[in-house]
Amino acid sequence: MAGQRPCLWTVLQCKQQDFQQFLGVDGEEAAARRVKEVCEIGSRAELDRDAAAQARWDERIRRAYLNYQKQHPTNHQ
C-alpha cells in the first residue's frame, strides 16, 4: 500500500473476491457498505480526509486484512 491513499486502496480491494470473503460479504457494493459500517463513515472518501476514520480503517480493515491473508495464504493471489 506504500504511497497509496486509503480510499483508493479500499476501492480497489472491494473489487477483489478475497477481500469480500474477509469481510463476509458477496460483491463489490456489499464490501463497500461493510467497510463504511466498520469504519463508521458515510463515504470511503472520508478515509483520506478524516484522521479518526483513517485510524479506524487502519486497525479494523487494513491490518485485520493483512492478518487474514497471513492466516489464509491460499485464498489470495
When divided into structural domains, the chain yields a total of 1
Tell me the residue range of the domain where 25 lies.
6-71
Q: Does any domain span residue 38?
A: yes
pTM: 0.89
**Residue 76 forms part of a structural domain:** no
Q: Is residue 77 part of a domain?
A: no
- The answer to whether residue 1 sits within a structural domain is no
Residues in the chain: 77
- Structural domain includes residue 12: yes
The set of cell numbers assigned to 64 is 485485520
pLDDT tens per residue, range 29-58: 999 999 999 999 999 999 999 999 999 999
Is there a contact between 50 and 75 (Cβ–Cβ < 8 Å)? no
In a domain, 60, yes or no: yes
